[in-house]
Amino acid sequence: MSDLAREMAAKIERGVWLESPDEMTPTYRENLVHLMTMQADSELAGGYGYVPWIMKAPGVEEKHVVAQIVKDELRHAAVMYGLLADLGVDVEAHVKRHDEAFTMRIASDADIGTARITSDKRVNIFYYPIETWADFVFFNFCMDRGAGHQLEDVRACSYGPWARAIEGIFKEETFHIRHGEHWVKKLALDPTTRGEAQVAFAKWYIRTMNIFGRPGSPKNQLYRQLRLKLRDNDAVRQAFALEVKGLCARVGLAVPEWKPRWADLPEEAQIPG
């Protein structure tokens, strides 16, 4: 082990944040860049997917809320790309190279399980289109909550700039989640929209359960060793599922059965982490 690796490991063990590329090994930097790029690309692709709902949202107030959510997502992307630039990533080239991919969406009835199908690093749920207001609501309710559970680990990660940036992002994601909760209750308790709510929930719940990665994956073990993540993928997934189960019980939505798909896919087709 090199002197740099020993010094870095000692800081991580003591809970001291790393603050600059000079303090990290190539392996640490590579994995940090990978995780932050996944977040940045997901924030950007997510924001693009919300844009049409500024016009389609029901009522002026909801149009304003959606516009705010779009603004938040693009701000989050800008923050994350800024952190990546500080690590020497050519962000402009990266975004330009994938610009068309960020707006690409698959057929609404497609099922890609845990596969990633473009060269950008967005979480694969962002390949699916948001076609109805119920889609928008349950995407907020499920995916933003799932992302919140993942961001909990980042708040205590070993890279200081990322941990500090996440605090502001986390607060805004909480607003998105609360917006989803408000509309889930509204749609689920109204007899005229209850059926649509159940269908939309089942769709986005399954897709969100797929984002967390495989239990016990070697990548996740390395992330935890470097303190870029704190928990196993399945621990985060189960925390999300337990919270959603409690919330849905209050409004009478049935939680669908979720079956892991990664066992049926080649390693390279699965979401890293």
Which residues form the domain of 43?
17-104+122-252
Q: pLDDT by residue (tens digit) across 3-27? A: 999 999 999 999 999 999 999 999 9
Amino acid at 167: E
| pLDDT reading at 267 higher than 60 | no
The answer to whether residue 110 is domain-embedded is no
pLDDT of residue 35: 97
The answer to whether residue 44 is domain-embedded is yes
- The CATH number assigned to the domain holding 198 equals 1.20.1260.10
Higher pLDDT, 101 or 92: 92
Phi, psi (degrees; rounded to nearest 5) at 18: -80, 140
The reported pTM is 0.92
Task: Compute CA 153 distance to the chain's CA centroid, rounded to the nearest angstrom.
Answer: 12
pLDDT of residue 264: 57
CB–CB of 187/140 below 8 Å? no
Domain count, the chain: 1
The answer to whether residue 9 is domain-embedded is no
- What percent of the chain has a predicted confidence (pLDDT) above 90? 83
Q: Which helix (H) or strand (E) holds 123?
A: none
Q: Which helix (H) or strand (E) holds 40?
A: helix 26-50
In the numeric block, which tokens belong to residue 171? Answer: 């607060």
CB–CB of 141/184 below 8 Å? yes
In the numeric block, which tokens belong to residue 273? Answer: 């982490």
Q: pLDDT by residue (tens digit) across 45-67? A: 999 999 999 999 999 999 999 99
CB–CB of 184/41 below 8 Å? no
The answer to whether residue 116 is domain-embedded is no
pLDDT of residue 263: 60
The answer to whether residue 136 is domain-embedded is yes
The answer to whether residue 5 is domain-embedded is no
Distance between CA atoms of 97 and 184, rounded to whole angstroms? 37
The helix/strand/coil state of 18 is: strand
